[in-house]
Homo-oligomer: A and B are copies of this chain.
């Protein structure tokens, strides 16, 4: 079988560019409009995308003056989208720091059933004190602590999803026997962060459990991904960096005793498309011109975890920024942004422009052919198994991508031309349905 490119549509209200909502075409209320998202999901299905994806954090950012804030809770929105679509995978972000395994495992299992096996979970540990303070804490737990909790969370969730064997339901009406108790395996888990005694109250689902996705690129993040993740979102600015990340993650996965084919690496790309290169750049400029500089400054300071007022628009980043080790939030993103600014000697103003669309993801302005070329190069040169497509403006950016780039990718044999028989999200990504950990054991513990 030819190796095929995987495409994920990263949906975000009016688009990934922070000024996208100000364009004439954009609806300032799109962020809570189900119809807007149904439209996007259908465009992505026309493009035979593997999946769509919603980011999340359990807090309201402190910038509602500046851009659309708040959202429909992702699993709720994806459930509604499940009923409006047929093929596309549905990946929701949820935090291991601010959920309990029993509740979250139920919800993903329920989405997997309702969607016919199309659920995915972007597992995040949630950086920042804002979220922590909504859940009884004064400050964010340390980075290592968050990842330790995430690992235990996953272990518990996997036990819960396997707590019903696939054939636990008997349904013998005559005998009055509905289920087989011997095929129910309560986790009886007692750990450092969680204790969870009972079996899940949802049977095993079409996929067994949701596709496990991860998006942290720190050391801890990569170790976690190697152990659990089946797909990885990542922000990479250069082909060389992306290749290094790709090779590193595949070898870590092999070292963890897993098949490196069973982890799909999906760098993010913000395509800004024009019929000529000049038109693409002009489209990019329109967006940059809509950024309110003071807003961009505040956002950048937050991303870099600097005190407000630290940065100046027409100067470069200060030389004495702390190293990644000192950062307790999103470590890898921090390094990426600092390196981008230093490498290209960007002023803060220019850096803001560059980040406006992708917050550290690769913004690529060009013709459809150029975008397809870039995608093809990364895909064939060991930098990506596919891409996280992050349109700067929605719905138009996704529509343009599907109408103009997708046909080129298909013509080049890189992308499927149709979904074929209805299948699960794991089928789309070429991953096997996981076996049940209890059913595997010869003498299963009951």
Chain B residues positioned under 8 Å from A292 (CB to CB) = 176
Chain B residues positioned under 8 Å from A328 (CB to CB) = none
Q: What are the interface flags for A89-102 relative to B under an 8 Å C-beta threshold, 1 for contact and 0 otherwise? A: 00000000011101
Please tell me how many copies of the chain the complex holds. 2
A176 touches B295 (CB 8 A): yes
Q: Does A79 contact B (CB under 8 A)?
A: yes
Chain B residues positioned under 8 Å from A65 (CB to CB) = 177-181
Interface-located stretch among A132-140, A230-238, A301-309: A132-140
CB closest chain-B residue, reference A203: B70
Given A80-B80, A135-B100, is A290 in contact with B176 using a C-beta cutoff of 8 Å?
A: yes
Q: Which of B22, B59, B186 is within 8 Å of A201, CB to CB?
A: B59
A interface list, Cβ under 8 A from B: 19, 21-24, 26, 28-29, 32, 34, 57-61, 64-73, 75-77, 79-80, 82-84, 98-100, 102-103, 106-107, 109-111, 113-114, 130, 133-136, 163-164, 168-169, 171, 173, 176-181, 184, 186, 194-203, 290, 292, 295
Q: Give the interface centre of A100, A113, A176 by most chain B CB atoms within 10 Å.
A: A176
B194 touches A73 (CB 8 A): no
A28 touches B171 (CB 8 A): yes
A201 touches B114 (CB 8 A): no
A70 touches B200 (CB 8 A): yes
Q: Which of B60, B80, B114 is within 8 Å of A184, CB to CB?
A: B60
CB closest chain-B residue, reference A84: B83
Given A114-B77, A198-B59, is A178 in contact with B68 using a C-beta cutoff of 8 Å?
A: yes
Chain B residues positioned under 8 Å from A19 (CB to CB) = 176
CB closest chain-B residue, reference A131: B198
17 interchain pairs, CB-CB under 8 A: A21-B173, A24-B173, A28-B169, A32-B113, A60-B186, A60-B199, A66-B177, A72-B110, A72-B113, A73-B202, A76-B79, A77-B114, A79-B79, A83-B83, A98-B100, A99-B103, A134-B196
A114 touches B72 (CB 8 A): yes
B64 touches A179 (CB 8 A): yes
A186 to B19, CA, bound (A): 25
